[in-house]
Chains A and B, each alone.
Chain A
Amino acid sequence: MPAVSKGDGMRGLAVFISDIRNCKSKEAEIKRINKELANIRSKFKGDKALDGYSKKKYVCKLLFIFLLGHDIDFGHMEAVNLLSSNKYTEKQIGYLFISVLVNSNSELIRLINNAIKNDLSSRNPTFMCLALHCIANVGSREMAEAFAGEIPRILVAGDTMDSVKQSAALCLLRLYKASPDLVLMGEWTSRVVHLLNDQHMGVVTAAISLITCLSSKNPDEFKTCVSLAVSRLSRIVSSASTDLQDYTYYFVPAPWLSCKLLRLLQCYPPPEDGAVKGRLVECLETILNKAQEPPKSKKVQHSNAKNAILFEAISLIIHYDSEPNLLVRACNQLGQFLQHRETNLRYLALESMCTLASSEFSHEAVKTHIETVINALKTERDVSVRQRAADLLYAMCDRSNAKQIVAEMLSYLETADYSIREEMVLKVAILAEKYAVDYSWYVDTILNLIRIAGDYVSEEVWYRVIQIVINRDDVQGYAAKTVFEALQAPACHENMVKVGGYILGEFGNLIAGDPRSSPLVQFNLLHSKFHLCSVPTRALLLSAYIKFINLFPETKATIQEVLRSDSQIRNSDVELQQRAVEYLKLSSIASTDVLATVLEEMPPFPERESSILAKLKKKKGPGAVTVELEDGKERGELNGGGDRGGDAAIAASNASTPSPSADLLGLRSTAPVSGTTPSAGSLLVDVFSEAGPSATSAGVNDDGFLSSAPPTVASEDPAPPLPESDELLNKFVCKNNGVLFENQLLQIGIKSEYRQNLGRMYLFYGNKTSVQFVSFNTTVSCPGELQSQLNVQTKTVEPLVEGGAQVQQVINIECLTDFIDAPLLNIKFRYGGALQNISLKLPVTINKFFQPTEMAAADFFQRWKQLSQPQQEAQKIFKASHGMDTEVLKAKLLGLGTALLENVDPNPENYVCAGVIQTKAQQVGCLLRLEPNAQAQMYRLTLRSSKDTVSQRVCDLLAEQF
């Protein structure tokens, strides 16, 4: 007879579940569930006492609703009441409700504890088991305080039923894990250890988990368990396949218990007692022998169970690492599994061999399987298995096979799964460095790495190759020649250009003797890549150019011409512009000696831990990286290539403002790439990351994993705008593109364009984590009177943002009439369960709708006079908060959207501008005059327009910019 007959289900429950299953939409489902919740709530609240059957039915409904992902915030009290019932049915359902829905912080714990206390002393084994289960499920400290003294007594008492003993053992284990200080084994230790001898295999099965945990924490107190475990294991291993009756699983005697016994032994070194050790070795040999016997059944369960024991035995042999004979047998057995037709076995064999590879006895034996492992990397269908193969190759690598393994990993990289590429790149880079006999091979390998998987080569990797080339003069010439050749490729990765720029800038002279790589050829090659590169790389190339002027005086004229061209010296990016200006000046005024000192070759980098290794450790968690670099002795922070001392003297761009084009869409903030001052890109990021809110990232630690503390749940209403959102808004008054916001999770980039009274803004939401954002939702709202001043239309974005992905949102804006406030942008999403709720001001300001107006001096002053009514003018006098550099000021005024009028103001120090603000309702002419006073570091700003509100607003906005 089946244990659950199908007819005896609860009809009301079945009807409810069927209703839910028939719901056509999510809305209908939610409606049905809410109806049911209301019904149950009223039943629970009602005066009529419910019978056990009804209570059980309602609790089952609640469980079903909970499983669908809905919060249940009532019924707890009813469940607690059920616990004190004398009926099994009611008690059982009460405990079930509590085990699923009550967490350890509940206020009900004291009531629950009372019920548990009664059941534990009831001497009814079923009730006792229910109570023990409940303790194990909730496992709170309060429960440990109440029961930690009682449970060991139940566990070892002579008259306790076997099933209760089993539950008591695991219950105690749970309490020990949660509150080890409260569980004092002391007097019980020996009796608990002797449970290993219990006649009932189920009791041993449960007790061994407890003993293993206690042994790993207090090995000395429990070390008597070793001999007991060995004799138990020996009895199982040598028993005939039918001796253990019900504990024989598909012809294998007690496989689960055998595995657990072998695990317990891994808490200890090999037994010292010769007899015990002999018996254990015998067991291990028997297990290895059995692997070679023909199977007793063709069922996969039979071989699974047998191999589960075998793998644990091999783990123990590897753990002991002292029996060369067993180690070699283990290695051979794993070798067989490497070619087994069962994928599971190949996977486990690769994994076990990884640990075997670090044993000195078996390292050589593992190496003999290299061809099989390489083959696995190439041909396995399952990415999990390929990953294990890559791990094993990494572990078995030494000086003798490094070239082969690195070559195979490189060729695998060309087709590797995206998910493991970055890790593969790090591994290749580490092996190449660690086992490099000649550094030319190392340089070749890294450049190949960049060629094959440039996108996955992190900064650490290319910084490292540069550090090594700088530090080893025997490889510099070769490196220069190789990068020169690599750069010949019509399309090469930007990382290659970075390495090439840096190395040729330092050591280009070493290959300049060959007319095919003369200084000018080198320069032209680098410069041919310039226009394809991002700003940080361009900045690095500019530094390479100035280094060229020092290395090769004959290139000076050509390079100066490049620096002098408008695209450099008037570049819209401040960092590039500044470098061009300063390098040009430096090259024209400094004497050869000064130049040679300033642009001297880079001094060697101090030896630190390889930054790549640090990165791999961070990726895989500590302990996962077994290969240590020979020269990596010190633990240092990431060894960024940013600390270039050589050109410290040249750049002094303290006053540089964020550039509009800097690495807008890149999710990775670029670390200092070149030069001592941060590049424009990183400056930008710094500014914003400081301003980024910390409140929204609660519950997220550095690794981006969820911390164990549940994050505080934020409100569903749009959050008020961040306090710094005005500041963020101000950054975009004179520019249209850049990073609006950034925190640990999210980066928001903006690109926008305006024409007449219309604007279009592209928002780029980048997920910086590796976990997807769900329920991602953004809204743009116009508070108050802004609603009638601006017309903003957005397209909704997909609710799911994958880890590392970026989604784009287009916003169309129409300016109806002039306005003061900015629209609000609210972003909500869930990250690891925590609601993130961020509000920002969208940088739409009235000046975006300026049309520049050119006019002659006479016209300007005529109109200026026409706008002479007091309310038409707004004026501010304020102190300069940035440098008063002419070019910077001009760039900002142009960025404002007005025309900058030359030769209008009689005082050449002053600036005047004119423009018309285009709104749907009207056009507002606007004139501006900015008078700097360099001595006092002050400005006077005057605005005149046909509308008083516009004058005031533009004046306010612009005053924040200088």
Chain B
Amino acid sequence: MIKAILIFNNHGKPRLSKFYEHYSEDTEQQIIRETFHLVSKRDENVCNFLEGGMLIGGSENKLIYRHYATLYFVFCVDSSESELGILDLIQVFVETLDKCFENVCELDLIFHVDKVHNILAEMVMGGMVLETNMNEIITQVDAQNKMEKSEVRL
């Protein structure tokens, strides 16, 4: 199960946080900070997996992350998930964002946090993977956008 999905930039500013288990708001913020602390001190070219921080369950959980330009994408998962599988899932997520935003960059995530949540919701639900097929995800997002547009026109 995916416990949390976090996106923050190189300075630790959160750009998206989605927790699939309930924590208090304070704890969520602390988990983000702790995770940033753990991930950001690692060199490039080391492996993409590490044991989770104390606040989110320690060695029971793994942090699986990718670093793209200014952003870290971190998935915190338990032992029932395949590490490489999650790494691919992060890639699908980023490629989908890239298609939806046309060369996605940090600013898109900042100004369209609702869209990012919607796209993520098409992939992951309640901590489990709903869909891995990028075209299917984009079709759904497109359909939603059309509905939105038609309502605006009304």
* A positions within 8 Å CB-CB of B: 2-4, 6, 9, 13-14, 17, 21, 52-53, 56, 60, 63-64, 66-69, 71, 87-89, 92-93, 96, 99-100, 103-104, 126, 132-133, 136-137, 139, 163, 166-167, 170-171, 173-174, 201-202, 205-206, 209, 212, 246-247, 249, 255-257, 259, 263, 301, 304-305, 307-308, 311-312, 343-344, 346-348, 381-382, 384-385, 620-621, 624, 705-706, 710-711, 770-771, 774, 803, 830, 832-834
CB < 8 Å neighbour of A621 from B16, B46, B59, B87 = B59
Identity of the chain B residue whose Cβ is nearest the Cβ of A342 in the assembled complex? B47
Residue-wise interface mask of B (86-104) relative to A, using a CB-CB cutoff of 8 A (1 in contact, 0 not): 0111011000000111100
Contacts of A17 in B (CB 8 A): 110-111
Inter-subunit contact A246/B136 (CB<8 Å)? yes
Inter-subunit contact B27/A304 (CB<8 Å)? no
A246 to B137, CA, bound (A): 11
A212 to B80, CA, bound (A): 10
A246 to B57, CA, bound (A): 36
Contacts of A64 in B (CB 8 A): 113
Given A308-B83, A832-B55, 15 more A-B residue pairs with CB atoms under 8 Å apart are A3-B141, A66-B25, A71-B25, A88-B147, A99-B117, A139-B126, A166-B131, A202-B132, A202-B133, A209-B129, A257-B132, A259-B82, A344-B87, A621-B60, A771-B54
Inter-subunit contact A136/B126 (CB<8 Å)? yes
Identity of the chain B residue whose Cβ is nearest the Cβ of A620 in the assembled complex? B59
Contacts of A132 in B (CB 8 A): 125
A304 to B66, CA, bound (A): 13
Contacts A/B (CB < 8 Å), 25 sampled:
A3-B100, A9-B112, A63-B117, A71-B25, A92-B118, A104-B22, A126-B147, A173-B126, A173-B128, A174-B126, A174-B128, A202-B132, A202-B133, A205-B129, A257-B132, A305-B84, A348-B83, A385-B47, A624-B59, A705-B54, A711-B24, A771-B55, A803-B54, A830-B30, A832-B30
CB < 8 Å neighbour of A14 from B16, B47, B111, B148 = B111
Inter-subunit contact B133/A381 (CB<8 Å)? no
Contacts of A263 in B (CB 8 A): 80, 82
Q: Does B29 contact A (CB under 8 A)?
A: yes
Q: How far is the CB of A176 from chain B (nearest CB, A)?
A: 10
Identity of the chain B residue whose Cβ is nearest the Cβ of A774 in the assembled complex? B30
Q: How far is the CB of A207 from chain B (nearest CB, A)?
A: 11
Inter-subunit contact A166/B130 (CB<8 Å)? yes
Contacts of A174 in B (CB 8 A): 125-128
Inter-subunit contact B99/A67 (CB<8 Å)? no
Contacts of B136 in A (CB 8 A): 202, 246
Interface centre among B49, B80, B82, B141, by most chain A C-beta atoms within 10 angstroms, is B82
CB < 8 Å neighbour of B84 from A96, A103, A311 = A311
Given A96-B118, A706-B27: A4 and B84 interface contact (C-beta under 8 Å): no
Given A17-B110, A255-B88: A171 and B126 interface contact (C-beta under 8 Å): yes
Q: How far is the CB of A658 from chain B (nearest CB, A)?
A: 33
Q: Does B67 contact A (CB under 8 A)?
A: no
Contacts of A247 in B (CB 8 A): 132-133
CB < 8 Å neighbour of A343 from B46, B111, B152 = B46
Given A256-B88, A259-B85: A833 and B27 interface contact (C-beta under 8 Å): yes
Contacts of A202 in B (CB 8 A): 130-133, 136
Q: Does B10 contact A (CB under 8 A)?
A: no
A311 to B85, CA, bound (A): 10
Given A3-B138, A4-B145: A833 and B114 interface contact (C-beta under 8 Å): no
Given A126-B144, A346-B47, A706-B27: A67 and B16 interface contact (C-beta under 8 Å): yes
A624 to B79, CA, bound (A): 13
Contacts of B87 in A (CB 8 A): 304, 308, 344
Contacts of B26 in A (CB 8 A): 830, 833-834
CB < 8 Å neighbour of B130 from A52, A206, A312, A803 = A206
Inter-subunit contact B121/A133 (CB<8 Å)? yes
Inter-subunit contact A301/B117 (CB<8 Å)? no
Classify the interface of chain B: helix, strand, loop or mixed: helix
Given A4-B101, A166-B131, A206-B128: A833 and B30 interface contact (C-beta under 8 Å): yes
Q: How far is the CB of A170 from chain B (nearest CB, A)?
A: 4
A53 to B153, CA, bound (A): 12
Given A71-B25, A89-B151, A167-B125: A249 and B88 interface contact (C-beta under 8 Å): yes
Contacts of B89 in A (CB 8 A): 256
Q: Does B40 contact A (CB under 8 A)?
A: no
Inter-subunit contact A88/B144 (CB<8 Å)? yes
Inter-subunit contact B22/A705 (CB<8 Å)? no
Contacts of A104 in B (CB 8 A): 22
Contacts of B55 in A (CB 8 A): 706, 771, 832
Contacts of B130 in A (CB 8 A): 166-167, 170, 202, 205-206
Inter-subunit contact B85/A67 (CB<8 Å)? no
Identity of the chain A residue whose Cβ is nearest the Cβ of B114 in the assembled complex? A60
Contacts of A308 in B (CB 8 A): 82-85, 87-88
Interface centre among B92, B136, B138, by most chain A C-beta atoms within 10 angstroms, is B136
Contacts of A834 in B (CB 8 A): 26
Q: Does B70 contact A (CB under 8 A)?
A: no
Contacts of A69 in B (CB 8 A): 14, 25, 29
Contacts of B99 in A (CB 8 A): 2-3
Inter-subunit contact B17/A384 (CB<8 Å)? no
Residue-wise interface mask of B (1-34) relative to A, using a CB-CB cutoff of 8 A (1 in contact, 0 not): 0000000000000111110001111110110010
Inter-subunit contact A88/B148 (CB<8 Å)? yes
Inter-subunit contact A6/B101 (CB<8 Å)? yes
A189 to B126, CA, bound (A): 21
Contacts of A347 in B (CB 8 A): 47, 49
Identity of the chain A residue whose Cβ is nearest the Cβ of B33 in the assembled complex? A774
Q: How far is the CB of B102 from chain A (nearest CB, A)?
A: 4
A671 to B151, CA, bound (A): 71
Q: How far is the CB of A508 from chain B (nearest CB, A)?
A: 44
Given A89-B151, A710-B27: A96 and B114 interface contact (C-beta under 8 Å): yes
Identity of the chain B residue whose Cβ is nearest the Cβ of A304 in the assembled complex? B84
Residue-wise interface mask of B (36-69) relative to A, using a CB-CB cutoff of 8 A (1 in contact, 0 not): 0000001101111111001101111000000000
Contacts of A56 in B (CB 8 A): 114
Inter-subunit contact B140/A163 (CB<8 Å)? yes
Q: How far is the CB of B18 from chain A (nearest CB, A)?
A: 8
Contacts of B18 in A (CB 8 A): 100
Identity of the chain A residue whose Cβ is nearest the Cβ of B86 in the assembled complex? A308
CB < 8 Å neighbour of B133 from A139, A173, A212, A246 = A246
Contacts of B151 in A (CB 8 A): 52, 87-89
Inter-subunit contact B43/A381 (CB<8 Å)? yes
Contacts of B102 in A (CB 8 A): 2, 6
Given A3-B145, A202-B136: A209 and B128 interface contact (C-beta under 8 Å): yes
Q: How far is the CB of A163 from chain B (nearest CB, A)?
A: 7
Contacts of A166 in B (CB 8 A): 130-131
Identity of the chain B residue whose Cβ is nearest the Cβ of A343 in the assembled complex? B47
